[in-house]
Structure 1
Amino acid sequence: MILAVFDASLIAAANVSKAWPFEEARKLLKRFPQGKGAPVVFETGYGPSGLPHIGTFQEVLRTTLVRRAYEVVSGGAATRLIAFSDDMDGLRKVPDNIPGAQMLGEHLGRPLSRIPDPFGRFESFAHHNNAMLREFLDRFGFDYEFVASSDRYNSGAFDEALRNVLRHFDAIMAVMLPTLRAKRAATYSPVLPVSPTSGAVLQVPVTVVDAEAGVVRFEDAGKTVEQSILGGAAKLQWKVDWAMRWLALGVDYEMYGKDLTDSGVQSGRIAAVLGGRKPEGLIYELFLDENGEKISKSKGNGLTIEQWLTYGSEDSLGLYLYREPKSAKSLHPGVIPRAVDDYWQFAEKLATQPIEQQLGNPVWHLTHGRGEADALPVTYGLLLNLVGVLGAAATREQVWSYLANYVPDAAPEAHPALDALVGRALAYNRDFVAPGLVRRAPTANEAAALRALDAALLGQGEGASAEELQTLIYEIGKNPAFGIENLRDWFKALYETLLGSSQGPRMGSFIALYGVANTRRLIGEALARE
């Protein structure tokens, strides 16, 4: 598709921008210096052995960002995005987070598209997971074409590409065998026939009988079988399959994870053997769970998109996935609040930035340059601190009553984005903060400083500004009489004794939001623990 006709100044700025989507897009300009003459094809791959997760989603998002960047730097060239599901792959193990484990175990080795759906909703396990993928890609408005491997194999659309693999069988073996250990090399074949008896995808040596007819010979359950590999009667080994579909689908760009680095090298060599060219692409780092382990679809140890959106906004998810794709990131609930606030900080800057800086702002890429109409009057971090002191039973109405102390026209209908965050803050506090919240007792020096703060607040009205309150807190923290070495220690003491957290908001803003009298009650509770 052609996205738009772009302004010359935008194109010029994009062609020198250091934002990573533009750097990736310029690889395609070098690949097609005179233009391709047809839509440039982007691809993302999905293995439907488990439910889709954020790792799957991020690849589509990041690829889309590169696609849009290419449309800009090229001045509006046509593009396509293919979301490819490798559902002809054989089921190697039963996922940990899927019902019907016993039933799935009975189908190990069979193509995912030929295994019953354990959820009982679709014609196969792969069809179920493919539907889940498409559902949340559609939810976020991605422009893509879904392609299932099983459809291409079964319909014969890949038949000519399969014949091409058989024609170059020996050359492909020459690429792959040196990369394999002796035991694996002894049984390796680029082609994996589907057993005519068990229906399993077989990992057995194969001899080419007739490349043009697509016929191969192999052993199955002690019998020699001659069988066509066309029309869904076989699939290709992973690295060969990847190279084959690059050529068959005309793929020009595909990014992939660091764990597939070697696969990308070997598939690129196989693509050359088949008469094609490896696509451009980026090798991104992997997401890790809170224990530092790789996120796995089959383990289900990562955040789902639904979980993220329970506690954070769609925009914050986009920002987290946008940033530093070549750096490993932890992906767990603890990263959500910072991502929410970072998004709004970038959004507030966008409108006042010159075009060169806008193109380096993640929000420009995530909103196609539109930005946000309104600023967020209260940070998510401050909301979480407020909800934290209100407790797990806090309600939306309670939160808005406190917001009236701080936000002009404080009403959900006047601030819909803030209202959505109020609901998410309540959920985050209920599930992650309140269960483990502990406010420690102050030390003797801290208690003396808290008494001074309480006395100072007594002289303040509820209308005191956040800045006035912040100045008051600073003055107490700097008073040598309390023996506090630096202001950082003072604020940490306030967070830990009043809020039950090692870090927190500007305390002046918090007091203005929560109220002077309420804050004095918190101080009294802290002093009672002394």
Structure 2
Amino acid sequence: MTDFSVLAQTAKAWPFELARALEKRVAEQVKAGERTAEAPVIFETGYGPSGLPHIGTFGEVVRTTMVRHAFEVLTAGKYATRLICVSDDMDGMRKVPDTVPNPKSLEQYLQMPLTVVPDPFGTHTSYGAHMNSRLCAFLDQFGFKYEFLSATDCYKSGRFDAMLRRAAEKYQAIMDVMLPTLGEERRATYSPFLPISPSTGRVLYVPMKHVDAAKGEVTFTDEDGRDVTLPVTGGAVKMQWKPDFGMRWAALGVDFEMFGKDHQANAPVYSKIARILGHRPPEQYVYELFLDEKGEKISKTKGNGISVEQWLAYAPDESLALYQFQKPRVAKKLHFDVIPKAVDEYLTFLEKFPKEEPAAQIENPVWHIHSGAPPAADVPVSFALLMNLVAVANPTDTSQLWGFIQRYAPGTTPATHPLLDELAGYAMRYYRDFVLPAKTYRAPTEHERGAMAELSARLKTFDDAPTSDNLQTLTFSVGTDHGFENLRDWFKALYEVLLGQSQGPRFGSFAALYGQSETAALIDEALARG
């Protein structure tokens, strides 16, 4: 049996690079007496519940899960691990989302903690609780192993109390970190503590008139003009988001966290706050943000890019996990055109896996996507090929596609090849929504017409058992005989005339799947049309 912990010592895949850095950190802390070897290694992800979980949420959790698994393999289970997902649900509601029922009814709750704002959907005790439930359901559908934490619960239950008292003790040190990062006007009113107004219930962005470190209390002017003193514990105040980041690391003993490039400039601030509070900052990893098809940053407000739900309407979630795995520090465009390629790349990696040596398997993305245990792959038809079959067969349901598939790959059925059956359904939806509207057929040139006529004739008289390879050879031969200097032009012509697109699958594979006589008829129809 392969000992992957040995291979993990030199594996180049980025989760192992991060796992090795984390192992070094934990070993140093154990040696220094900062922790015990029995203390679990804490991985954290954060979530802002003002809106629905999105593709960034998925990416952060799936990538962190990959690092967690790599660490467990690297250390051969020497350390226990936990993945906690923290919801910042004590934040004040800054604006009412347009997507909620009766949004005007929530305007009176602006700046109140999300766990105080009523649930406009009528299913939970608060807006924050509703969104937290949506987050957990979102993560559960992918089978993530995690522990959910509500920031409100952590503040109110006393879980953060020790660090909040220490923050009061270190108030000036925290201010010395924060003030240089702020503009002049903001510096005049800034405080790392945000009290919850006793008179209005709102989260207040006001300066502190006095901080009593010994008592763990802060004094400020409330919205009604009275000076009020509150304890920093028990949920009476929360921290500004940058100090909160570092405080949470310290309070929860976080060892690893990754975040998007938009946090990169603030990461040193988070780390300084954690150190001030007596905690070594966690290992951190900054990933690039996705761009839309125009190269612009994806924004929930703009609605550009793709949502998780949209991706999963056209492809399995493993293909999305692959897209998240590949080059996380390179800005990539995330739009619908990338889906088919991601699906076929996933299938290719899955097919290669059992044939690889263990040292290559541990670098294969599917090893990380499936936590070291990829399923057996048997998908004889690519996603691109399925979409082109849909283009010419014009099926109304997947059962019609299976007639072609079973002739191409005898013995396959929806029951024996469920992934292929799923892909057939995805292909039909993707073709209908994205390929069909963009199709542009053209008439062949006289040169192309002669070659296509001969290809049709030779397909009709082809005596060998049709396979992808011999039909590809036949097509290649016809193009050569007709003097195509660049055979790419020949295949491009076939795609544009027969399929209405400039690119397509390996033509021999398409002809074998669709059928040699059906392909000949397709050519004849195109020639008659043009």
Report TM bin, short chain.
over 0.9
**Structure 2 residue matching 1:18: 3-state secondary structure:** coil
- Range that drifts further, 192-201 or 234-243: 192-201
In 1, Cα distance between the equivalents of 2:247 and 2:156?
16
Aligned positions of 1:235-274 closer than 5 A:
235-274=238-277
What is the deviation of 1:213? 3.0
- 73, 82, 89: which one aligns with 1:80: 82
Please report how far the alpha carbon of residue 460 of structure 1 lies from its aligned counterpart in structure 2 after TM superposition.
2.1
In structure 2, the residue matched to 1:22 is 16
What is the 5 A alignment of 1:93-492?
93-221=95-223, 223-228=225-230, 229-391=232-394, 394-460=396-462, 463-481=465-483, 484-492=484-492
Post-superposition shift, 1:222?
5.5
Of the structure 1 ranges 317-326 and 233-242, higher mean CA displacement relative to structure 2 is found in 317-326
TM superposition score normalised by structure 1 = 0.94
Aligned to 1:9: 3
Call closer, same or farther: CA 1:418–1:39 in 2, change over 3 Å. same
Aligned residues of 1:243 and 1:268 also touching (Cα < 8 A): yes
CA distance in 2, matches of 1:437, 1:235: 55
For 1:528, the equivalent position in structure 2 comes to 528
- The RMSD of aligned alpha carbons is 1.9
SS, match of residue 312 in structure 1? coil
Q: Deviations over 1:204-255 (max 9, x none)?
A: 1113332243322222336132231322222101110000010100001001
Distance 1:298 1:90, change over 3 A: farther
For residue 506 of structure 1, what is the aligned residue in structure 2? 506
1:3 corresponds in structure 2 to none
Q: 1:78 to 1:149 in 2, by over 3 A?
A: same
The 8 Å contact of residues 94 and 298 in structure 1, kept in 2 or not, is answered as no
The amino acid across from 1:489 in the alignment is D
Q: CA deviation at 1:463?
A: 4.1
The number of aligned residues is: 521
Mapped to 2, the partners of 1:95 and 1:496 lie a distance apart of: 45
Tell me the distance in 2 between the aligned counterparts of 1:121 and 1:301.
Answer: 29
Contact 2:161 2:233 (8 Å CA) reproduced: yes
Distance 2:56 2:369 in 1: 17
- Matched with 2:33 is none
Deviation track 1:246-284 (CA, whole Å, cap 9, x = no partner) reads 010000100111000022111111111112111002100
For the structure 1 residues 100 and 332, does the alpha-carbon distance in structure 2 shift closer, same or farther, using more than 3 Å as the test? farther
Secondary structure of 2:57's counterpart equals helix
How many angstroms does 1:146 deviate by? 0.5
What is the deviation of 1:87? 0.6
Shift of 1:420: 1.3
SS in 2 for 1:512: helix
1:44 aligns with 2:38: no
**Distance of 1:430 and 1:79 partners within structure 2:** 45
Distance 1:298 1:48, change over 3 A: farther
Q: Find the residue that maps to 1:403 and give its secondary structure.
A: helix
Q: Which residue of 2 aligns with 1:518?
A: 518
CA distance in 1, matches of 2:74, 2:482: 59
| Shift of residue 396, structure 1, vs aligned partner | 1.1
Is the Cα contact below 8 Å between 2:456 and 2:521 reproduced in 1? no
Distance 1:414 1:145 in 2: 36
Distance in 2 between residues matched to 1:292 and 1:97, nearest whole Å = 26
Q: Distance in 2 between matches of 1:448 and 1:73?
A: 61
**Alpha-carbon contact 2:2-2:358 (below 8 Å) kept:** no
The answer on whether the counterparts of 1:288 and 1:329 sit within 8 Å (CA) in structure 2 is: yes
Contact 2:199 2:224 in 1 (8 A): no
Q: What is the alpha-carbon distance in structure 1 between the residues aligned to residue 467 and residue 304 of structure 2?
A: 45
Q: Counterpart of 1:472 in structure 2: which amino acid?
A: L
Percent identity over the alignment is 52
**Alpha carbons of structure 1 residues 89 and 325: separation in structure 2 relative to 1, 3 Å:** same
**Cα distance, 1:290 vs. partner?**
2.9
Name the stretch that deviates more: 377-386 or 153-162.
153-162
Q: Is the 8 A contact 2:92 2:203 kept in 1?
A: yes
1:269–1:213 CA distance, 2 compared to 1 (3 A)? same
Secondary structure of the residue aligned to 1:189 is coil
The residue that corresponds to 1:62 in the other structure is: 63
Q: Deviations over 1:309-355 (max 9, x none)?
A: 22111221221111111112222222221111111111111112122
CA distance in 1, matches of 2:444, 2:516: 20
**Aligned equivalents of 1:276, 1:208: Cα separation in 2:** 26
Q: SS where residue 281 of structure 1 aligns?
A: strand
Letter matched to residue 14 of structure 2? W
Shift of 1:521: 2.8
Give the aligned partner of residue 27 of structure 2: 33
Could you tell which deviates more after superposition, 26-35 or 181-190? 26-35
SS in 1 for 2:86: strand
Question: Contact between 1:351 and 1:371, CA under 8 Å: does it hold in 2?
Answer: no
Shift of 1:147: 0.4
Alpha-carbon shift at residue 32 of structure 1 (Å): 2.1
With structure 2 as the length reference, what TM-score do the two structures score?
A: 0.94
- Checking the alignment, whether the CA contact within 8 Å between 1:337 and 1:381 is kept in structure 2 is yes
Give the residue type in structure 1 aligned to 2:500. Answer: G
**1:110-153 Cα shifts (integer Å, max 9, x gaps):** 21121122222212222111111111212222111100101111
CA distance in 2, matches of 1:526, 1:180: 67
Give SS of 1:213's match: coil
Task: Name whichever of 495-504 and 505-514 sits farther off.
Answer: 495-504
| Mean CA deviation greater in 49-58 or 410-419 | 410-419
In 2, the alpha carbon distance for the partners of 1:354 and 1:185 equals: 59
Further displaced range: 373-382 or 104-113: 104-113
| Residue identity in the other structure for 1:20 | W
